[in-house]
Chain A
Amino acid sequence: MTSTPRIGVFVCRCGINIGAYVDVPKVVEYAKTLANVVNAEENMYTCSSDGLNKIKEAIKKNDLNRVVVASCTPRTHEPLFQETCEEAGVNKYLFEMANIRDQCSWVHMREPEKATKKAKDLVRMAVAKAALLAPGDEPEIDVNPSSLVIGGGVSGMQAALSLADQGFNVTLVEKAPELGGMLRTLDTLFPSNIKASKVLEPLLQEIKANPRIRVITNSKVKTVNGFIGNFDIGVEGDGKQERFNVGTIIVAVGADLLKPDGLYLYGQDARVRTQAQFEELVKMSKMDAKRIVMIQCVGARNEDRPYCSRICCNEALKNVLNAASPGREIFILYRDLQTYGVHYSRLEQDAKRKGVKFLKYQPDKPPQVTAEEDGLRIEFYSPTFNEKVELNADLLVLSTPLVPVMDAKELSQLLKVSLNSNGFFMEAHIKLRPIDFATDGIYICGTAHSPKDIGESVTQALAAASRAAIPMARRKVRAAAIISEVDQKKCSGCGTCIEVCPYNAIRKNDKGLAEVVAAVCKGCGICGATCPEKAITMHHFTDEEIEAQGLAALKET
């Protein structure tokens, strides 16, 4: 039985984010009047090392066994404060946060008195819950130091090689007959215009020569169960099935090029090609057109695909530089040239020096293409000349965006990871965790994350290898303790919870009753809410705790 609660409350000013709108000293005084609170103080920045030291000192001085921090959002700062409590000897689950910034000062900037009153309510609720908190223990899980890489393009190959070079076994699954992905469809690569084979061949040889990498082609991942450190994988292909276990998974399934059917007469007139087809013509030196017009952002940066596909401008520039020759006229109709960074600005300059003409068009007045015998007539309003411009071309090349692969949806359900509104895989945090998924142990790299060029894909592949190597190098991972637990006495074995669990983290045990798989459970609470017998409790969010918070909310300050 935990000893009687001795709660310490720390109210943060967060510079002026809270301090300018909430009367922090008043909230601290009020906290002292609450039951079980033995110490309350304020900080300028609780998350600074000075603030964290103050928490540790207060715990020692006042022999605290519960801590409440009233500050900002748990999303970014809860782990930090939990670790601080643990270092001072208080179990990290005997900690509760009250968000008096995003949910209080920031939304009530214009009513400081009400904001202060609400801050007191939120602290009172947090203290009421803190009194009932029970310590949680995080079971340690063994991590199988081997990895599954899904997708054998440049990203998948590079990730596999890096993991192998770091000493881990890798299984590389590719649905096509051979590895290579887009490297096989491209002839040369910008910015240096080297042959794609120059990048592909070394990767293939290194993979073949590396004993730690097992390649399975013509196959797809069919089943994925388990959790970080212990994923059971089912792969099917070539009429065979395989089952094996890995510790981590890297998604590198790449992306496809949009086929611009129905746009600018594509598919109805042979003189309308995509950049990839144009490159093929140039490669086979079958490209003898004298007047070429290219149109950028075809099927991109519109309602259906509200994103810029990053590489089409540079791909078009690479192609025109290979095709430019005296006597051949090339026009590029663009909206915004994306020649960013030190490497790509040069492509734009080189193309212009070779006589390629760049003409801007406006999205609300897109080019009109009409087929005629002697060529394609392309009319568009040119803001450069403030007038309608008419070009006729014997070849029209469309720059189309990269789009998610067909089976992205299926794979996302298999791995229990989500896709963003454009259908690309959604990472844990777009800014600071671009490679991790929210689900531990699974990582994303390459164009499956979002459109990018070969160099940027290689970078993300190496990054995924580094992220995956962390749990595999440590061989151990601590699972979260905020999980649900089934009371075997109350459970009737109806299995409703098993159906609704999004992470299939509940199984029937040998007695036919429901049992939670600790490592897989994400603590989302759906099973607890659906269980007809009220047999499932959520650690850290028990009914009593929530009830105590609710009652505290209704009390007058």
Chain B
Amino acid sequence: MKVAFYPGCTVQADQIGYEASVRNTMPKLGVELIDVEGASCCGYPPFSSVNEAAWYYSSARNMALAERMGLPILILCNGCHLSFTETKHFLANNPIIKAKIDEKLSIEGLTYVGDVELIHVFDLFHNKLGEEKIKQAVTKPLTGFKFGAHPGCHAIRPNKLIRPDDSENPIKLDELIQWLGAETMDYPGKIDCCGSSLAPASGKTVMEIAGDKLRMVKALGLDGLVTTCPFCFKVYDNRQRAIQSTVGASVEFPVFYYTQLLGLAMEVKPDFLGLDLNQSPVDSVLARIGGS
């Protein structure tokens, strides 16, 4: 199965551990990742609050590139996936803006049709590959672990647009974790926000919002928090020390990308999964897995 691989700015810039874990697991499941040459930012963080046309142009441009490759486009970040989905929906209903964007795309010789299939990480693992394929690939089941899934707002909302999972009771990420042999818990606040897009305006509040969830899952005695979204991971993992100082309570708690757990269950070496880049205390979990 071939896909146009669109990791997005955040993954390529500083979540390279996630990119490594994706590039070292998906091929083993028969997914060939073909980079989208010439891709650019999806436009959501910079332009959604600044200029609508620039936002939709940015997303349309990347979809046009994928359309040219004739492949469905695999998107790692929740924000990019929502941005592409919203652009497809908006341009389909707003010919005036679409015309203006087509005109700008022609400068780079691109044309946007709007029929590219957008694949979210949940879609890829849960629908396209499915339970059997993943279970076959698992050679070292993560038995004895209980994780908390964090699907991320833009993966499940708004339900007016078709989103990869249900908006109020999402279960796909839970099931993906269960297929690796581990257990999950439907903890309160599972569908809550990590607060990351508040960073430009109030970093302190981001810490408080993220801190609440970390304290919750830590108090419930879970073994780790699992997500597929670089924005959420960046707050929960990379900023754990900053959260601790702001919130004042111990929030040290292991945070993983799903593809990292998948890799461990497929006995891929941790170095190939970028696990050394996780700032949260993942070593205890790795030790228990007998990380070879």
The answer to whether any beta carbons of A and B sit under 8 Å apart in the complex is no
